[in-house]
């Protein structure tokens, strides 16, 4: 089915402005009087727009979507961007500041609310937007304001809850950090005490080992000194014995020559000890051992000789004999 031509949806104010501008209609029979009155009214204005006969709504419809402050600036500056008056520039700055404040606080706003807030309200229309735009009922504004206040209070509560939660998290983090630092300090102190204990134990063990080594060394030294002393005594005894044996040997030779004795090789003697004399079993003479030399003394010159190692002296004694 063929559809008819589609027309864009427009408001009655937009349609009214478009018809007047297109056909240049004479919509009043008191044009001259109205013109004079308009001149007087314009002379009283503190700010003048630069949109000509084009209404603000038509200007907005021809533009891209912009915020209320930019729409106001478009209507009150010329092609070179120069403000029609200083008052218009101040109003724009107030609008822009109001919008920025709403954005910071998270508030939503409309053109009607911005223009009504900055330019004020007038019965039947909104200042700055033309007579085609009607102001919302006061009840609607009250409801919107109440909703905004409720949303703002809710947002503030949420922000406060988030701030409290964040503060709590920070406190818990600080507490945990303090506990960790305290635990770390305790651990370091325990390590220091343990290291000190180990050091003292090592020093004590080293002292004991050194003392033990010193005692062992002294004992070994004493044992070595005692061994050396005994060895020296043994050597001295051996040397003394050899010297004495040599003396005894020399003495025996002199005795042999003096008493006419002979070596015991031709006689039987029973004495094993050096320096002792025993009775001869065959001839009744004396046999003796002197300095490991066996000799025989005849009965007519019977004598006894002995050598005592206790006092280191050589004893000599002569006795009479009854044998032939």
Q: How many C-beta neighbours within 10 Å does residue 16 have?
A: 16
Helix intervals (H) in the chain = 12-23, 31-44, 56-62, 68-75, 86-105, 111-119, 138-259
Question: Distance from CA of residue 122 to its chain's centroid?
Answer: 72
Q: Which residues contact 317 (CB under 8 A, 6 or more apart)?
A: 303, 304, 305
Convert the pLDDT of each residue in 202-253 to its tens digit. 999 999 999 999 999 999 999 999 999 999 998 988 888 888 888 888 877 7
Q: Look up the pTM and report it.
A: 0.28
| SS3 category, 120 | coil
Encode 50-70: b = buried (16+ Cβ within 10 Å), e = exposed.
eeeeebbbbbbeeeeeeebbb
Whether the per-residue pLDDT at 277 is higher than 60: the answer is no
The structural domains of the chain, with segments of one domain joined by +, span: 12-135, 251-318
Query: What is the C-alpha separation between 111 and 188, in angstroms, rounded?
Result: 68
Residue 190: per-residue pLDDT: 93
Tens digits of residue pLDDT in 21-77: 666 555 554 555 676 677 677 666 666 665 555 565 556 555 556 667 777 787 788
Express each pLDDT in 120-131 by its tens digit: 766 666 666 666
Q: Is there a contact between 75 and 59 (Cβ–Cβ < 8 Å)?
A: yes
Q: 223 exposed, middle or buried (CB, 10 Å; 0-12, 13-18, 19+)?
A: exposed
Average pLDDT, the chain: 70
Structure tokens at 219: 């004992």
For residue 280, count CB atoms less than 10 angstroms from its CB and return exposed for 0-12, middle for 13-18, buried for 19 or more.
buried
Q: What is the mean pLDDT of residues 5-11?
A: 60
């Amino acid at each position: 089915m063929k559809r008819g031509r589609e027309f864009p949806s427009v408001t009655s104010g937009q349609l009214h402005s478009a018809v007047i501008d297109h056909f240049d209609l004479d919509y009043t029979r008191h044009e001259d009087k109205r013109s004079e009155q308009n001149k007087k009214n314009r002379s009283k204005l503190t700010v003048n727009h630069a949109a000509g006969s084009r209404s603000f709504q038509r200007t907005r419809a021809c533009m891209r979507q912009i915020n209320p402050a930019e729409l106001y600036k478009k209507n009150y500056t010329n092609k070179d961007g120069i403000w029609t008056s200083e008052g218009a520039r101040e109003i724009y700055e107030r609008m822009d500041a109001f919008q920025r404040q709403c954005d910071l606080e998270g508030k939503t706003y409309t053109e009607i609310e911005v223009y009504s807030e900055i330019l004020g309200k007038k019965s039947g229309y909104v200042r700055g937007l033309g007579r085609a735009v009607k102001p919302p009922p006061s009840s609607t504004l009250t409801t919107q304001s109440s909703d905004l206040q409720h949303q703002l209070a809710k947002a503030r509560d949420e922000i406060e809850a988030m701030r409290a939660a964040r503060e709590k998290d920070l406190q818990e983090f600080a507490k945990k950090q303090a506990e960790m630092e305290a635990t770390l300090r305790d651990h370091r102190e325990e390590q220091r005490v343990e290291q000190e204990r180990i050091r003292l134990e090592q020093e004590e063990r080293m002292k004991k080992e050194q003392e033990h080594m010193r005692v062992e060394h002294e004992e070994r030294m004493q044992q070595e000194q005692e061994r050396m002393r005994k060895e020296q005594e043994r050597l001295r005894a051996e040397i003394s014995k050899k010297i004495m044996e040599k003396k005894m040997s020399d003495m025996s030779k002199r005795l042999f020559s003096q008493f006419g004795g002979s070596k015991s090789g031709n006689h039987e003697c029973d004495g094993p000890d050096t320096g002792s004399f025993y009775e001869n079993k065959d001839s009744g003479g004396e046999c003796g051992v002197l300095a490991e030399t066996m000799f025989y003394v005849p009965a007519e010159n019977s004598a006894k000789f002995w050598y005592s190692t206790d006092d280191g002296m050589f004893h000599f004694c002569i006795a009479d004999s009854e044998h032939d």
